[in-house]
């Protein structure tokens, strides 16, 4: 979406600057006499004459804003016709990193033959931003490549190159010098579920509760996926340091309970924070850079790859897509290994807020301070990620491929106060009791874009993955094997039960063990318009298809120890998206969600009022998405 926004902004700026500026705007910039310009050119006068003045108001505006310097502006202005000047300007913007190669190919025009006019050098695609910065000089005549329909790009292409200094073209510039670029979308979708006992407008795993006799079908028409964000940049005095930031929110928060909204609460969802961070990038040379990110962002563990799907509420939680956004301190170092295929390697490490997705029985405490068992461990969750990037397919409009591995390790602590300790155990635990458990996890992920298809996949394994929407949303169970005379107590936050008992006559607390889980997904994107060679500038250029399968499960023996009834859930869907123009996309998705019982025999859970081994939900969703 960001690439589309930058492309649209660049095209509008260039078009308005060369064709649609009003007479008042033109009068505000210096102009020259054609005769004086020609005379100066013939006489070869190298002093400042009318020939060195910038006639194009767009070039003058970019000079004023500091995006290009005066020398570069004059060089471009002397390059001939307006079309030739625009071509030189597009080359320069590409060299400075202000536009991408795809955007360059979309806005560049074929220049008329010029024998001696200076031009801006077009850098090879594999050059780094530092190597091509401010590259101005004569170049051989180049042929404009034909426009192509871009291949399917992954939803999240991880940033391995250092952030380009002064690379943000702002919508707003503050007096402090901070630059702000706005973006976002709003989506309206109509949804039909053949079975939705939980009454939510997004899929949840089955067997959470019994349904009605017909499976509790539901229809929803929702618009709460509205999302808005802003990118920031601040210029630091150090030339190799870049300071950027992001703030993003959506309206998928809780529903209001105020007096004037009680009746209409179903359509009155509230805004909630998604991302809020500041990032510092330091360039050491053309092969090494490092960064430090502070704030709330996608976690290194599990969040690197996500499926391309219409339904972003819940984002297929408990169906094979683990992810999370959390406050963190994250740092990483990027190494450019080879320019030939843009091979890069980046290790990252982070301290993350330990969060476990508890559901306290005391809602007042939850609203007041959130969950406790992660912060009560008094230590951060440690995470890491390793990313290898390379250009798998060098065709135009194809994003780089990435191979990703990630891991996490954290601790939760359940606290029982003295008042809640069972009387038989108060002598052994006079001050209360505590019990710890650990979360761990690892993933192997890949994003492989080509001109013909884009394949994205993830595999994960770990324990206590509830906060990452995995492991069937299970957390821990009490291991009471070998204990006698057991008694239970509620933790200080009301979210879990702690078991006390006797082991060989000694009073002890039962271990809390994490429920282990596994899963993953594979998502195939097919650029239909590109494969069928549609006109890149025509209305048929925006057709894309996606095929997907995802699976999430809990280890059966752990789920049975917990007393759970569901064992695993999977989803399969096919969707077609049609990008009508740069602003509007229409999409339709047909999916099948299933949940299977942890036991195939014996006491089965209820579905439609009868014991069942599985639940099924056939889901149809049509969406209209407006980008801005």
On whether the pTM is more than 0.85, the answer is: no
Nearest to residue 247, comparing CAs of 334, 178, 162, 349? Answer: 178
| Segment 3-58, tens digit of pLDDT | 444 444 444 444 434 433 333 333 333 333 333 333 333 333 443 333 446 777 77
Q: Can you tell me whether residue 99 is helix, strand or coil?
A: coil
Count Cβ atoms below 10 Å from residue 188 Cβ, excluding itself.
15
State the pLDDT confidence band at 600, using cuts at 50, 70 and 90: low
Tokens of 333: 């170092």
For residue 74, the model assigns a pLDDT of 74
Pick the closest to residue 515 from 563, 547, 548 (CA basis).
563
Average the pLDDT over each of 128-142, 405-419, 478-492 and give the range with the smallest value: 128-142
> Considering the chain, what is the average pLDDT of its residues?
84
User: Beta strands of 353-430 (E only): which ranges?
Assistant: 381-390, 401-416
Q: What percent of the chain has pLDDT over 90?
A: 63
How many angstroms separate the CA atoms of 381 and 326, rounded?
11
Residue appearing with tokens 């505590």:
434
Q: Where are the domains of the chain?
A: 2-44+51-132, 188-325+343-357+364-627
Binned at pLDDT 50, 70 and 90, residue 232 comes out as: very high
C-beta of residue 598 within 8 angstroms of C-beta of residue 566: yes
In a 3-state reduction of DSSP, which class is residue 95? helix
Q: Using one digit for the tens of pLDDT, what is the confidence trace for 318-334?
A: 999 999 999 999 999 99
Name the residue with higher pLDDT: 167 or 594.
594
Q: What is the pLDDT of residue 145?
A: 52
- The region, left, alpha or beta by phi > 0 then psi within -120 to 50, assigned to residue 429 is beta
CATH number listed for the domain at residues 188-325+343-357+364-627: 2.40.160
Residues 615-620, mean pLDDT to the nearest whole number: 96
Going by C-alpha positions, the residue among 252, 246, 334, 253 that lies closest to residue 297 is 246
CA neighbours closer than 13 Å in the CB half-sphere of residue 484: 4
CA 17 – CA 82 distance, rounded (Å):
10
Model confidence pLDDT, tens digit, residues 62-102: 777 667 777 777 777 776 667 667 777 777 776 666 676 66
Spatial contact of 605 and 208, defined as CB atoms under 8 Å apart = no
Secondary structure percentages of the chain, helix, strand, coil, to 5:
20, 40, 45
């Amino acid at each position: 979406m960001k690439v589309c926004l930058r492309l649209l902004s660049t095209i509008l700026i260039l078009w308005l600057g060369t064709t649609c500026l009003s007479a008042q705007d033109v009068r505000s910039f210096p102009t020259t006499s054609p005769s004086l310009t020609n005379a100066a050119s013939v006489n070869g006068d190298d002093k400042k004459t009318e020939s060195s003045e910038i006639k194009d108001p767009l070039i003058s505006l970019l000079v004023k804003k500091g995006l290009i310097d005066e020398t570069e502006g004059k060089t471009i202005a002397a390059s001939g016709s307006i079309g030739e000047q625009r071509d030189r300007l597009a080359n320069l913007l590409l060299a400075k990193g202000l536009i991408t190669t795809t955007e360059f190919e979309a806005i560049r025009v074929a220049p008329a033959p010029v024998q001696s006019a200076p031009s801006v050098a077009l850098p090879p695609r594999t050059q780094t931003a530092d190597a091509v910065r401010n590259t101005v000089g004569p170049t051989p005549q180049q042929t404009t490549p034909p426009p192509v329909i871009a291949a399917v790009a992954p939803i999240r292409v991880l940033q391995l190159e250092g952030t380009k200094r002064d690379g943000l073209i702002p919508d707003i510039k503050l007096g402090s010098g901070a630059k702000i670029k706005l973006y976002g979308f709003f989506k309206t979708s109509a949804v039909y579920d053949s079975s939705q006992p939980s009454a939510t407008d997004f899929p949840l795993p089955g067997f959470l509760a019994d349904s009605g006799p017909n499976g509790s079908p539901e229809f929803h028409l929702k618009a709460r996926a509205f999302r808005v964000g802003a990118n920031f940049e601040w210029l630091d005095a150090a030339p190799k340091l870049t300071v950027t930031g992001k703030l993003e929110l959506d309206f998928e928060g809780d529903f209001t309970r105020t007096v004037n909204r009680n009746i209409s609460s179903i359509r009155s969802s509230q805004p909630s924070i998604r991302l809020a961070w500041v990032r510092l990038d330091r360039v050491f040379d053309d092969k090494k850079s490092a960064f430090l990110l502070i704030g709330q962002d996608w976690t290194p563990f599990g969040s690197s790859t996500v499926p391309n799907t219409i339904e972003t509420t819940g984002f297929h939680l408990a169906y094979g897509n683990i992810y999370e956004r959390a406050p963190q301190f994250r740092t990483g170092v990027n190494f450019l290994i080879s320019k030939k295929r843009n091979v890069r390697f980046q290790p990252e490490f982070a301290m993350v807020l330990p969060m476990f997705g508890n559901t306290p029985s005391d809602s007042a405490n939850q609203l007041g301070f959130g969950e406790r068992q992660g912060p009560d461990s008094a230590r951060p969750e440690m995470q890491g990620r390793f990313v290898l990037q390379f250009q798998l397919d060098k065709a135009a409009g194809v994003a780089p491929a990435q191979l990703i591995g990630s891991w996490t390790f954290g601790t939760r602590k359940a606290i029982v106060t003295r008042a809640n300790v069972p009387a038989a155990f108060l002598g052994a635990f006079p001050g209360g009791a505590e019990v710890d458990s650990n979360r761990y996890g690892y993933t192997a992920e890949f994003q492989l874009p080509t001109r013909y298809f884009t394949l994205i996949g993830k595999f994960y394994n770990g324990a206590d993955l509830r906060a990452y929407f995995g492991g069937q949303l299970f957390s821990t169970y009490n291991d009471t094997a070998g204990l006698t005379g057991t008694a239970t107590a509620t933790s200080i936050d009301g979210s879990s039960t702690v078991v006390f008992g006797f082991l060989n006559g000694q009073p002890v607390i039962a271990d809390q063990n994490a429920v282990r889980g596994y899963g993953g997904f594979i998502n195939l994107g097919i650029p239909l318009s590109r494969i069928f060679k549609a006109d890149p500038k025509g209305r048929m250029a925006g057709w894309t298809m996606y095929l997907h399968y995802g699976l999430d499960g809990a280890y059966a023996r752990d789920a049975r120890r917990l007393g759970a009834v569901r064992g695993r859930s999977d989803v399969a869907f096919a969707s077609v998206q049609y990008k009508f123009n740069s602003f509007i996309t229409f999409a339709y998705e047909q999916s099948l969600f299933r949940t299977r019982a942890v036991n195939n025999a014996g006491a089965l859970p209820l579905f439609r009022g009868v014991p069942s081994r599985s639940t099924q939900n056939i889901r149809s969703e049509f969406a209209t998405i407006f980008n801005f």
